[in-house]
Amino acid sequence: MGDAGAADQSVAGQVEVIGRLSRLVEWMQDVGLPMALGLGVFALAATGYMLVAGLWRWRVQRRWARRSRRGAAASA
């Protein structure tokens, strides 16, 4: 059948994830819901900022690539 070692490793990974989620729930109960929600909002804002900054940088790079291609075509 399947590899017993791989199955054991999968189960161990699931147990680790469950343990981490359990510790996260315990931590949220310790610090309180407002603190946990505040950190969640901060994480969401940071993620949004990184996404917008990445998209802006990508657009700038595309714009400069287009300009350099146009300049190369005009000089050729």
Who has greater pLDDT, 67 or 42?
42
Residue 35 amino acid letter? M
- Give Cα 27 distance to the centre of its chain: 22
Domain boundaries, the chain: 1-31, 33-76
Who has greater pLDDT, 75 or 6?
6
User: What DSSP designation does 70 have?
Assistant: H
d(CA 12, CA 7): 9
d(CA 71, CA 30): 61
Across 54-74, average pLDDT = 88
**pLDDT of 3-55, one tens digit each?**
777 778 888 889 999 999 999 888 888 888 888 889 899 999 999 999 999 99
